[in-house]
Amino acid sequence: MQSFHEYVKKAGQSLVKDELRLLQVNLGYKCNLSCRHCHIEAGPKRQELMSLPVIEDCIRFIARAGITEVDITGGAPEVNPELPDFIRLLRQQGLVSRIILRTNLAILDSDEYEHLPEFFARNNVELIASMPCYLEENVEFQRGSGVYQKNIAVLKMLNCLGYGKDNLKLHLVYNPGNGFLPEQQSELERAYKESLGKKHGITFNSLYTITNAPIGRFRSQLEKQGELEGYMKVLVDNSNSANLEKVMCRSMVSVDWLGRLFDCDFNQALNMPLVLQDNYIGDICPEDLLNQPIELGSHCFSCIAGSGSSCQGSLVGKAG
Protein backbone atom coordinates (compact mmCIF):
# COMPACT_ATOMS: atom_id res chain seq x y z
CA MET A 1 0.00 0.00 0.00
CA GLN A 2 1.35 3.43 -0.91
CA SER A 3 2.12 5.83 1.93
CA PHE A 4 0.18 9.05 2.39
CA HIS A 5 3.37 10.98 1.60
CA GLU A 6 3.51 9.20 -1.77
CA TYR A 7 -0.17 9.86 -2.41
CA VAL A 8 0.21 13.60 -1.77
CA LYS A 9 3.31 13.77 -3.97
CA LYS A 10 1.61 11.96 -6.86
CA ALA A 11 -1.32 14.34 -6.55
CA GLY A 12 1.09 17.25 -7.07
CA GLN A 13 0.15 18.76 -3.72
CA SER A 14 1.96 19.88 -0.60
CA LEU A 15 0.33 20.04 2.81
CA VAL A 16 1.50 23.03 4.82
CA LYS A 17 0.02 25.41 7.34
CA ASP A 18 -1.91 28.31 5.86
CA GLU A 19 -3.17 31.26 7.90
CA LEU A 20 -4.42 29.98 11.26
CA ARG A 21 -8.13 30.31 11.93
CA LEU A 22 -8.86 27.74 14.63
CA LEU A 23 -7.22 26.44 17.79
CA GLN A 24 -8.45 23.06 19.01
CA VAL A 25 -7.82 22.74 22.74
CA ASN A 26 -7.81 19.26 24.26
CA LEU A 27 -8.49 19.84 27.95
CA GLY A 28 -7.49 16.30 28.90
CA TYR A 29 -8.10 12.63 28.33
CA LYS A 30 -10.33 11.92 31.33
CA CYS A 31 -13.89 10.99 30.37
CA ASN A 32 -16.99 9.41 31.89
CA LEU A 33 -17.18 6.97 28.95
CA SER A 34 -14.78 4.54 27.25
CA CYS A 35 -16.12 4.53 23.69
CA ARG A 36 -15.14 1.77 21.25
CA HIS A 37 -14.10 4.20 18.51
CA CYS A 38 -12.20 6.72 20.67
CA HIS A 39 -8.91 7.64 18.98
CA ILE A 40 -7.56 9.33 22.11
CA GLU A 41 -8.44 6.30 24.28
CA ALA A 42 -10.14 8.51 26.85
CA GLY A 43 -11.85 7.06 29.90
CA PRO A 44 -12.63 7.38 33.63
CA LYS A 45 -9.19 6.12 34.66
CA ARG A 46 -7.25 8.73 32.68
CA GLN A 47 -5.94 11.58 34.84
CA GLU A 48 -4.44 13.97 32.26
CA LEU A 49 -6.08 17.42 32.59
CA MET A 50 -4.90 20.82 31.33
CA SER A 51 -3.89 23.21 34.12
CA LEU A 52 -4.91 26.86 34.40
CA PRO A 53 -1.38 28.15 33.57
CA VAL A 54 -1.45 26.23 30.27
CA ILE A 55 -4.97 27.54 29.57
CA GLU A 56 -3.71 31.09 30.16
CA ASP A 57 -0.87 30.48 27.69
CA CYS A 58 -3.47 29.23 25.19
CA ILE A 59 -5.37 32.48 25.59
CA ARG A 60 -2.24 34.54 25.01
CA PHE A 61 -1.50 32.51 21.88
CA ILE A 62 -5.06 33.09 20.63
CA ALA A 63 -4.55 36.83 21.02
CA ARG A 64 -1.14 36.82 19.30
CA ALA A 65 -2.28 34.64 16.41
CA GLY A 66 -5.60 36.40 15.79
CA ILE A 67 -7.46 33.09 16.17
CA THR A 68 -11.19 33.53 15.48
CA GLU A 69 -12.48 30.08 16.55
CA VAL A 70 -11.71 27.90 19.56
CA ASP A 71 -12.75 24.24 19.55
CA ILE A 72 -12.71 22.69 23.04
CA THR A 73 -12.47 18.93 23.24
CA GLY A 74 -11.22 16.01 25.35
CA GLY A 75 -11.86 13.30 26.73
CA ALA A 76 -14.87 14.97 28.15
CA PRO A 77 -13.89 18.65 28.48
CA GLU A 78 -16.59 19.09 31.13
CA VAL A 79 -14.54 17.10 33.69
CA ASN A 80 -11.79 19.73 33.67
CA PRO A 81 -12.64 22.14 36.51
CA GLU A 82 -10.94 25.00 34.63
CA LEU A 83 -13.41 24.83 31.72
CA PRO A 84 -15.78 27.59 32.96
CA ASP A 85 -12.91 29.99 33.62
CA PHE A 86 -11.48 29.28 30.16
CA ILE A 87 -14.80 30.16 28.52
CA ARG A 88 -15.27 33.25 30.73
CA LEU A 89 -11.80 34.55 29.87
CA LEU A 90 -12.40 34.07 26.15
CA ARG A 91 -15.68 35.99 26.34
CA GLN A 92 -14.43 38.73 28.69
CA GLN A 93 -11.46 39.49 26.46
CA GLY A 94 -13.56 39.32 23.29
CA LEU A 95 -10.91 37.27 21.56
CA VAL A 96 -12.94 34.96 19.32
CA SER A 97 -16.19 35.00 17.39
CA ARG A 98 -16.91 31.32 17.89
CA ILE A 99 -16.44 29.01 20.89
CA ILE A 100 -17.18 25.35 20.17
CA LEU A 101 -17.44 22.65 22.82
CA ARG A 102 -17.53 18.92 22.04
CA THR A 103 -19.69 16.90 24.41
CA ASN A 104 -20.70 13.26 24.65
CA LEU A 105 -24.06 14.45 26.07
CA ALA A 106 -24.31 11.67 28.68
CA ILE A 107 -22.01 13.53 31.07
CA LEU A 108 -24.48 16.43 31.26
CA ASP A 109 -27.09 14.05 32.70
CA SER A 110 -25.15 13.77 35.98
CA ASP A 111 -25.69 15.97 39.06
CA GLU A 112 -22.08 17.18 38.98
CA TYR A 113 -22.35 18.71 35.52
CA GLU A 114 -26.05 19.44 35.02
CA HIS A 115 -25.45 23.17 35.64
CA LEU A 116 -23.15 23.52 32.63
CA PRO A 117 -25.72 23.70 29.79
CA GLU A 118 -27.17 26.96 31.17
CA PHE A 119 -23.63 28.32 31.51
CA PHE A 120 -22.90 27.34 27.91
CA ALA A 121 -26.10 29.04 26.74
CA ARG A 122 -25.30 32.29 28.61
CA ASN A 123 -21.89 32.39 26.95
CA ASN A 124 -23.18 31.45 23.47
CA VAL A 125 -21.07 28.28 23.33
CA GLU A 126 -21.77 26.23 20.20
CA LEU A 127 -22.20 22.54 21.02
CA ILE A 128 -21.05 19.62 18.89
CA ALA A 129 -22.56 16.52 20.45
CA SER A 130 -21.52 12.96 19.72
CA MET A 131 -24.54 10.86 18.78
CA PRO A 132 -23.17 7.83 16.86
CA CYS A 133 -26.63 6.90 15.57
CA TYR A 134 -30.30 7.73 15.97
CA LEU A 135 -30.95 4.06 16.83
CA GLU A 136 -30.58 3.03 20.47
CA GLU A 137 -28.84 -0.30 19.83
CA ASN A 138 -26.13 1.31 17.68
CA VAL A 139 -25.40 4.03 20.24
CA GLU A 140 -25.12 1.50 23.06
CA PHE A 141 -22.86 -0.74 20.93
CA GLN A 142 -20.31 2.08 20.72
CA ARG A 143 -20.84 3.84 24.04
CA GLY A 144 -22.31 1.41 26.56
CA SER A 145 -25.61 0.49 28.16
CA GLY A 146 -27.92 3.34 29.18
CA VAL A 147 -26.11 6.04 27.21
CA TYR A 148 -28.83 6.49 24.57
CA GLN A 149 -31.57 7.44 27.05
CA LYS A 150 -29.21 9.86 28.80
CA ASN A 151 -28.41 11.45 25.44
CA ILE A 152 -32.09 11.86 24.63
CA ALA A 153 -32.80 13.45 28.03
CA VAL A 154 -29.92 15.92 27.58
CA LEU A 155 -30.91 16.79 24.00
CA LYS A 156 -34.45 17.59 25.18
CA MET A 157 -33.05 19.79 27.94
CA LEU A 158 -30.77 21.58 25.46
CA ASN A 159 -33.76 22.22 23.19
CA CYS A 160 -35.57 23.77 26.16
CA LEU A 161 -32.64 26.15 26.61
CA GLY A 162 -32.91 27.18 22.95
CA TYR A 163 -30.21 24.96 21.51
CA GLY A 164 -30.98 23.67 18.04
CA LYS A 165 -33.34 26.62 17.63
CA ASP A 166 -32.91 30.39 17.68
CA ASN A 167 -29.26 31.46 17.86
CA LEU A 168 -27.80 28.65 19.99
CA LYS A 169 -26.15 26.14 17.68
CA LEU A 170 -26.38 22.40 18.33
CA HIS A 171 -24.76 19.93 15.95
CA LEU A 172 -24.68 16.14 16.21
CA VAL A 173 -21.82 13.85 15.16
CA TYR A 174 -22.12 10.46 13.46
CA ASN A 175 -19.26 7.93 13.53
CA PRO A 176 -19.55 4.55 11.78
CA GLY A 177 -19.67 1.60 14.15
CA ASN A 178 -17.29 -0.57 12.12
CA GLY A 179 -14.83 -0.45 9.21
CA PHE A 180 -16.80 1.44 6.59
CA LEU A 181 -17.16 5.02 5.37
CA PRO A 182 -20.06 7.24 6.46
CA GLU A 183 -23.04 7.59 4.15
CA GLN A 184 -23.71 10.95 2.52
CA GLN A 185 -23.91 13.58 5.26
CA SER A 186 -27.02 15.27 3.86
CA GLU A 187 -28.91 11.97 3.66
CA LEU A 188 -27.95 10.93 7.18
CA GLU A 189 -28.92 14.36 8.51
CA ARG A 190 -32.41 13.95 7.07
CA ALA A 191 -32.70 10.49 8.67
CA TYR A 192 -31.51 11.79 12.06
CA LYS A 193 -33.88 14.76 12.01
CA GLU A 194 -36.84 12.62 10.97
CA SER A 195 -36.19 9.92 13.58
CA LEU A 196 -35.27 12.12 16.54
CA GLY A 197 -38.00 14.61 15.69
CA LYS A 198 -40.75 12.03 15.29
CA LYS A 199 -39.81 9.87 18.30
CA HIS A 200 -38.61 12.50 20.76
CA GLY A 201 -39.46 15.97 19.43
CA ILE A 202 -35.74 16.80 19.26
CA THR A 203 -34.35 19.42 16.89
CA PHE A 204 -30.74 20.29 16.01
CA ASN A 205 -28.94 22.41 13.42
CA SER A 206 -26.62 20.08 11.49
CA LEU A 207 -25.23 16.56 11.44
CA TYR A 208 -21.49 16.07 10.99
CA THR A 209 -20.26 12.75 9.60
CA ILE A 210 -16.73 11.87 10.71
CA THR A 211 -14.73 8.95 9.33
CA ASN A 212 -13.05 6.89 12.04
CA ALA A 213 -9.26 7.13 11.93
CA PRO A 214 -7.47 3.76 12.24
CA ILE A 215 -5.84 4.64 15.56
CA GLY A 216 -6.57 4.22 19.26
CA ARG A 217 -9.35 1.89 20.36
CA PHE A 218 -10.81 1.73 16.87
CA ARG A 219 -7.53 0.39 15.49
CA SER A 220 -7.36 -2.18 18.29
CA GLN A 221 -10.91 -3.26 17.46
CA LEU A 222 -10.05 -3.64 13.77
CA GLU A 223 -6.90 -5.63 14.58
CA LYS A 224 -8.81 -7.93 16.93
CA GLN A 225 -11.38 -8.62 14.22
CA GLY A 226 -8.74 -9.05 11.51
CA GLU A 227 -10.18 -6.09 9.60
CA LEU A 228 -7.41 -3.47 9.77
CA GLU A 229 -5.92 -4.25 6.35
CA GLY A 230 -9.37 -4.27 4.76
CA TYR A 231 -10.30 -0.94 6.34
CA MET A 232 -7.07 0.68 5.17
CA LYS A 233 -7.83 -0.59 1.65
CA VAL A 234 -11.28 1.03 1.84
CA LEU A 235 -9.68 4.35 2.81
CA VAL A 236 -6.99 4.23 0.13
CA ASP A 237 -9.30 2.99 -2.64
CA ASN A 238 -11.78 5.80 -1.90
CA SER A 239 -9.21 8.58 -1.57
CA ASN A 240 -10.17 11.83 -3.27
CA SER A 241 -7.25 14.16 -4.01
CA ALA A 242 -9.64 17.14 -4.30
CA ASN A 243 -10.08 16.92 -0.53
CA LEU A 244 -6.39 17.70 0.08
CA GLU A 245 -7.10 21.40 -0.40
CA LYS A 246 -9.87 21.32 2.22
CA VAL A 247 -8.40 19.37 5.14
CA MET A 248 -8.67 21.16 8.50
CA CYS A 249 -4.99 20.79 9.41
CA ARG A 250 -4.16 23.57 6.94
CA SER A 251 -5.84 26.26 9.03
CA MET A 252 -5.82 24.88 12.59
CA VAL A 253 -3.51 23.63 15.30
CA SER A 254 -4.31 21.29 18.16
CA VAL A 255 -2.90 21.73 21.67
CA ASP A 256 -2.71 18.92 24.21
CA TRP A 257 -3.12 19.12 27.99
CA LEU A 258 0.60 19.87 28.39
CA GLY A 259 0.52 22.76 25.91
CA ARG A 260 2.27 20.95 23.05
CA LEU A 261 1.15 21.75 19.51
CA PHE A 262 0.01 19.24 16.89
CA ASP A 263 -1.51 19.48 13.44
CA CYS A 264 -4.68 17.73 14.60
CA ASP A 265 -6.20 15.67 17.40
CA PHE A 266 -5.32 12.44 15.55
CA ASN A 267 -1.63 13.38 15.49
CA GLN A 268 -1.96 14.23 19.15
CA ALA A 269 -3.24 10.72 19.86
CA LEU A 270 -0.23 9.30 17.97
CA ASN A 271 2.23 11.65 19.72
CA MET A 272 3.27 13.29 16.44
CA PRO A 273 3.83 16.93 17.51
CA LEU A 274 4.75 19.79 15.22
CA VAL A 275 8.48 19.64 14.49
CA LEU A 276 9.66 22.91 15.98
CA GLN A 277 12.61 23.86 18.13
CA ASP A 278 10.16 24.55 20.95
CA ASN A 279 6.56 23.53 20.39
CA TYR A 280 5.09 24.72 23.70
CA ILE A 281 2.17 27.04 22.98
CA GLY A 282 3.44 29.72 25.33
CA ASP A 283 6.76 30.00 23.53
CA ILE A 284 5.69 29.94 19.89
CA CYS A 285 5.52 32.89 17.54
CA PRO A 286 2.40 32.25 15.41
CA GLU A 287 4.11 33.61 12.30
CA ASP A 288 6.62 30.76 12.53
CA LEU A 289 3.81 28.27 11.81
CA LEU A 290 3.01 29.71 8.38
CA ASN A 291 4.05 27.23 5.67
CA GLN A 292 5.08 24.71 8.34
CA PRO A 293 4.90 21.20 6.80
CA ILE A 294 2.08 19.07 8.20
CA GLU A 295 3.09 15.79 9.86
CA LEU A 296 1.56 12.96 7.82
CA GLY A 297 0.81 9.27 8.33
CA SER A 298 -1.40 6.50 6.97
CA HIS A 299 -4.23 7.63 9.26
CA CYS A 300 -4.50 10.78 7.10
CA PHE A 301 -6.31 8.74 4.43
CA SER A 302 -9.36 8.84 6.72
CA CYS A 303 -9.64 12.60 6.19
CA ILE A 304 -9.70 12.49 2.37
CA ALA A 305 -11.58 9.26 1.66
CA GLY A 306 -14.99 9.55 0.03
CA SER A 307 -16.68 12.83 0.89
CA GLY A 308 -13.80 13.78 3.14
CA SER A 309 -13.84 14.18 6.90
CA SER A 310 -13.04 16.95 9.33
CA CYS A 311 -13.93 17.84 12.91
CA GLN A 312 -16.84 19.72 11.37
CA GLY A 313 -18.00 16.91 9.15
CA SER A 314 -17.84 16.14 5.44
CA LEU A 315 -15.59 18.25 3.24
CA VAL A 316 -18.15 18.33 0.42
CA GLY A 317 -19.07 21.94 -0.30
CA LYS A 318 -16.33 23.39 1.93
CA ALA A 319 -13.99 25.97 0.47
CA GLY A 320 -10.37 25.00 -0.14
> What rounded mean pLDDT belongs to the chain?
91
Q: For 291-305, how does the pLDDT look when each residue is reduced to its tens digit (9 = 90+)?
A: 999 999 999 999 999
The model carries a pTM of 0.94
Q: For 73-97, how does the pLDDT look when each residue is reduced to its tens digit (9 = 90+)?
A: 998 999 999 999 999 999 998 889 9
**Paired residues of 207 in beta bridges:** 172
What confidence tier does 23 reach under pLDDT thresholds 50, 70, 90? very high
Task: Give domain status of residue 317, yes or no.
Answer: no
Q: For 170-214, how does the pLDDT look when each residue is reduced to its tens digit (9 = 90+)?
A: 999 998 877 789 989 999 999 999 999 999 999 999 999 999 999
Element of type H or E holding 170: strand 170-174
Q: Which residues contact 9 (CB under 8 A, 6 or more apart)?
A: none
Alpha carbons within 13 A on the beta-carbon side of 76: 23
Task: Give domain status of residue 314, yes or no.
Answer: no
In this predicted structure, the answer to whether residue 149 has a pLDDT above a threshold of 90 is: no
Q: Which amino acid is at 149?
A: Q
Write the DSSP string, 184-218: -HHHHHHHHHHHHHHHH----SEEEE-PPPSSHHH
What confidence tier does 319 reach under pLDDT thresholds 50, 70, 90? low
What confidence tier does 317 reach under pLDDT thresholds 50, 70, 90? low
Alpha-carbon distance 276 to 166, whole Å? 43
Cβ atoms 147, 155 nearer than 8 A: no
Q: For 239-262, how does the pLDDT look when each residue is reduced to its tens digit (9 = 90+)?
A: 999 999 999 999 999 999 999 999
Q: What percent of the chain has pLDDT over 90?
A: 72
- Which structural domain range is residue 237 located in? 4-304
Alpha-carbon distance 14 to 23, whole Å? 22
Supply the DSSP symbol for 292. Answer: P
Alpha-carbon distance 47 to 301, whole Å? 31
Task: Give domain status of residue 191, yes or no.
Answer: yes
Three-state secondary structure readout of 35-100: CCCCCCCCECCCCCECCHHHHHHHHHHHHHHCCCEEEEECCCHHHCCCHHHHHHHHHHCCCCCEEE
Task: Identify the pLDDT of residue 312.
Answer: 83
Cβ atoms 139, 176 nearer than 8 A: no
Task: Give domain status of residue 252, yes or no.
Answer: yes
Alpha carbons within 13 A on the beta-carbon side of 129: 32
Q: Mean pLDDT, to the nearest integer, of 99-120?
A: 94
How many domains does one find in the chain? 1
Task: Identify the pLDDT of residue 50.
Answer: 97
Cβ atoms 126, 97 nearer than 8 A: no
Alpha-carbon distance 184 to 191, whole Å? 11
Q: Mean pLDDT, to the nearest integer, of 275-286?
A: 91
Task: Identify the pLDDT of residue 144.
Answer: 66
In this structure, of 32-46, 159-173, 257-271, the range with the lowest mean pLDDT score is 32-46
Question: CATH code at 238?
Answer: 3.20.20.70
Task: Give domain status of residue 316, yes or no.
Answer: no
The closest alpha carbon to 150, from 110, 109, 118, belongs to: 109
Task: Give domain status of residue 309, yes or no.
Answer: no
Task: Give domain status of residue 183, yes or no.
Answer: yes
Q: Mean pLDDT, to the nearest integer, of 148-174?
A: 93
In this predicted structure, the answer to whether residue 132 has a pLDDT above a threshold of 90 is: no
Task: Give domain status of residue 319, yes or no.
Answer: no
